[in-house]
Amino acid sequence: MRAREPDVQAYVDREGLRIGYETFNDAAADQGRPTVLFVPIDSCVQSRAWKAQVPYLSQHYRVVTIDPRGNGRSDRPTDPAEYGDLDFVADTVAVMDAAGVDRAVLVGICVSAWQAMLVASLHAERVRGVVAIGPWLYDNTPPLPFRAEAAAHFEDELPTYEGWTMGNRHFLEKGWPEFSAFFFDQMLCEPHSTKQLEDILGWTGTTTGQVQLAVRDGPRYPEDMGETEALLRAIDRPVLVIRGTEDRCQPLARARNLAEWTGGELLELEGSGHLPMARDPITVNRAIKGFVDRVTGVPAAASPRRAGTKRRPRALYLSSPIGLGHVRRDLAVADAMRERRPDLEVQWLTQSPVAEFLEQRGEVVHPASRLLANESGHFESESGEHDLHAFQAVRRMDEVLVNNFMVFDDLVEREAFDVWLGDEAWDLDHFLHENPELKRAPFVWMTDFVGWVPMPDGGDREAYLTADYNAEMVEHVARHPALRDRSVFVGDPADVVDLPLGPDLPTARAWTEDHFDFAGYVMGERPDPADREALRHRLGYAEGEVVCVVSVGGSGVGDHLLRRVVASYDEARDRIPDLRMVVVAGPRIDPRSLGAPAGVEVHGFLPDLDLHHAACDVAVVQGGLSTTMELTAARRPFLYVPLGHHFEQQVHVRHRLERHRAGRALDYRDVEPGRIADELAAALKAPTDYLPVPTDGADRAAQLVLEVL
């Protein structure tokens, strides 16, 4: 799922060739806001290469992207004459005309940065400024030595082709996939770039070596490269040049020449490679936005009142929107904080369904929350039939996470907070470690699991990827040990799985014990077990009824499990004559869609679901930690069915429940109506000899947070 879908997908016809383009936030043009246009990117990839920029910039401006001839939604001619510099310039202008863009700030990378400069030279009236990333120039700057050696033999038939020599006319036509894999591995020289490389190779796979040779042989402009300096010096539009210091594609001299000859700014990114928009997206996004605002006259945001100004202390709480479990514990922590500090103001940055839940409770959800890309929707789009590969879903949520961090960053640049709390706010933790200079307040990180875990059928590749992600986390904390002012684990040390984080890495438990404080399990107010009958009466459950509550949390992923359990009702009634089955669909599943038989109650969202769990006789739930621990604390018998390939439910939650001797785990593949009926009957007869769940977790967590204020 994209972080933002285009308003328009269309084509322009350029002398019989279709050029695909997309527009975003078209309403911004009517509001007089600037347009940012990504000129046709180099033909080896496509405009989706800007996916970390487009959603965020679309919050502020109209944005237009263009697929290059040779890739994406554009046509793929094989005649070199169709790939001249002036063809790409004309494609850009044609799209501007079709999309109704009079003037725009242009953005390009490598060769497309050069072609953006040509637009500024030949069509200056259409250009407000240019951002050139890792620019190629049609000049006589010597290429990097290892590239020069390969280029010297480009036309030669070689006995073997490997490394840079694969970029050879005789190899490329058939060997493009092999060369592109090598080339972009070099371009993404930064450690832990596995996802970015996968993306790039997906896009390079939609073109061919024959096309790439035609692109290489296309006519350059001007015909004499000696005219390049004069052409660039004549450009009177503002220019921002961005280059990584580890760029293995374009020499530093080109970036410096472009900045000097145009009188532009030069931003060098330490340690970044040739694709900083993918690997250093926060810095690139901030740089583009700052440049656009300067050249178009957008007023700078007023400086916020910082800590120390006389006002109530403010906390910004980021609560994960994946389901509704986290928000119950987050509310418990917030309430405990306010009990200790009555003057504390808590504002929430979150999204549906958590935002609606909080608003019903009278909490302040910050208006910036509406700009967040939908994480719950992403996970639902990644799910199958009771199956969600959680690790891969998080990896494929990268553009959502970039967008959502940028929303946060914009907010805290405008408004001052005295502490930030992130409950599994992966975007905040990751990008703060990548950009520690953006930390403006004490930061508390909270989680109930540590360590990505491969699924057995993922093989060596998934084992490698999860270890790489774990290694990056370990390195982040080692490199910036003070960035998290406090790390709070929601549970006890024994709740952490004692599995290695990867080769040459510590175990998850040992590393967590070294770097976290332990709050114990955190939940909201619990009903007194001695008052359970009064609670049942209050909720409308009659004496003698055997109440079975069936719920799957706040996302739509549990739809299939609900259907399976509903289908077991008749057989379950045969075994449990007084059974009353209460199904809670949650906020993202239409209760009417379940086709429940007569006798099964189906509810939508129940804000007091935790009370129903405490009052029931037995429950059937998914494998989420919050719901299962609510049932454990209430000492209720329950069946839980972890999602397939969901490493957290399959490993971390299962470990904790086994430690507490709670629940009966079922495999969804075995969950047929008769099996469910049998298991429900067995669960009702089994003793609930659970490990007690302490009641002071929220108080302990609140104290840990307040200590950093």
- In the numeric block, which tokens belong to residue 601? 């109650």
Q: H or E element: which one contains 620?
A: strand 618-621
Topology of the domain comprising 314-523+700-706: Rossmann fold (3.40.50)
Q: H or E element: which one contains 126?
A: none
Determine the length of the chain.
709
**Residue 411 identity:** L
Q: How many CA atoms lie within 13 A of 479 on its CB side?
A: 12
- In the numeric block, which tokens belong to residue 316? 């910004």
Q: What pTM value is reported for the model?
A: 0.96
- Tell me how far CA of residue 304 lies from CA of 59, 106, 364, 411, in angstroms: 21, 31, 19, 10
- In the numeric block, which tokens belong to residue 72? 């994406």
The domain 8-141+219-296 having CATH identifier 3.40.50.1370: the answer here is no
CATH superfamily placement of domain 529-685:
Glycogen Phosphorylase B; (3.40.50.2000)
- In the numeric block, which tokens belong to residue 189? 């020289």
Name the residue with tokens 């129903």: 612
**Average pLDDT of the residues in 139-160:** 93
Alpha-carbon gap, residue 657 to 624, rounded angstroms:
11
**Residue 171 identity:** F
Alpha-carbon gap, residue 247 to 144, rounded angstroms:
10
Alpha-carbon gap, residue 353 to 361, rounded angstroms:
13
pLDDT for 307: 52
**Residue 607 identity:** P
Across the chain, mean pLDDT equals 95
Give SS3 for 173: helix
Alpha-carbon gap, residue 451 to 595, rounded angstroms:
39
- In the numeric block, which tokens belong to residue 318? 């980021």
Alpha-carbon gap, residue 644 to 638, rounded angstroms:
19
304 pLDDT above the threshold of 90: no
234 pLDDT above the threshold of 90: yes
Alpha-carbon gap, residue 201 to 335, rounded angstroms:
48
Q: H or E element: which one contains 27?
A: helix 27-30
308 pLDDT above the threshold of 60: no
Peptide bond into 442 cis (omega under 30): no
- CA 201, distance to chain mean position in Å, is 20
pLDDT digits (tens, 9 = 90+) for 375-391: 989 998 999 999 999 99
pLDDT digits (tens, 9 = 90+) for 548-558: 999 997 778 88
**Ordered strands of the 546-551 beta sheet:** 600-603, 579-584, 546-551, 618-621, 638-640, 664-665
Q: Could you give the residue ranges of the DSSP H alpha helices within 205-265?
A: 209-216, 228-233, 252-262
Whether 134 contacts 244, CB under 8 Å: yes
**Average pLDDT of the residues in 293-313:** 76
pLDDT for 299: 82
306 pLDDT above the threshold of 80: no
pLDDT for 298: 86
Per-position b or e across 27-43, b if 16+ CB within 10 A of its CB = ebbeeebbbbbbbbbbb
Listed residue (127, 93, 98, 130) closest to 113, CA to CA: 130
Domain limits, CATH 3.40.50.1820, in the chain? 8-141+219-296
pLDDT band at 326 (very low <50, low <70, confident <90, very high): confident
Q: How far apart are the first and last CA of the chain?
A: 38
The two beta strands, 364-365 and 265-269, are: unpaired
**Average pLDDT of the residues in 678-700:** 95
SS3 letters across 77-119? CCCHHHHCHHHHHHHHHHHHHHHCCCCEEEEEECHHHHHHHHH
Whether 123 contacts 91, CB under 8 Å: no
pLDDT band at 305 (very low <50, low <70, confident <90, very high): low
Domain limits, CATH 3.40.50.2000, in the chain? 314-523+700-706, 529-685
Region of poorest pLDDT, from 51-55, 239-243, 516-520, 591-595: 591-595
pLDDT for 31: 93
- CA 242, distance to chain mean position in Å, is 24
pLDDT digits (tens, 9 = 90+) for 427-465: 999 999 999 999 999 999 999 999 999 999 999 999 999
- In the numeric block, which tokens belong to residue 280? 């250093």
The two beta strands, 638-640 and 579-584, are: unpaired
Peptide bond into 321 cis (omega under 30): no
- In the numeric block, which tokens belong to residue 305? 């009142």
pLDDT digits (tens, 9 = 90+) for 263-295: 999 999 999 999 999 999 999 999 999 999 999
Region of poorest pLDDT, from 170-174, 234-238, 551-555: 551-555
**Residue 21 identity:** Y
Rounded to 5°, angle at Cα 151 from 147 and 157:
130
pLDDT digits (tens, 9 = 90+) for 396-434: 999 999 999 999 999 999 999 999 999 999 999 999 999
Give SS3 for 202: helix
Alpha-carbon gap, residue 268 to 256, rounded angstroms:
10
**Average pLDDT of the residues in 152-163:** 95
Alpha-carbon gap, residue 609 to 594, rounded angstroms:
19
pLDDT digits (tens, 9 = 90+) for 41-90: 999 999 999 999 999 999 999 999 999 999 999 999 999 999 999 999 99
Give SS3 for 294: helix
Alpha-carbon gap, residue 557 to 639, rounded angstroms:
17
Whether 351 contacts 588, CB under 8 Å: no
- In the numeric block, which tokens belong to residue 695? 């009641």
Alpha-carbon gap, residue 346 to 352, rounded angstroms:
18
Listed residue (159, 199, 160, 155) closest to 181, CA to CA: 199
Tell me which of 526 and 268 has the higher pLDDT.
268
Give SS3 for 320: coil
**Average pLDDT of the residues in 468-481:** 98
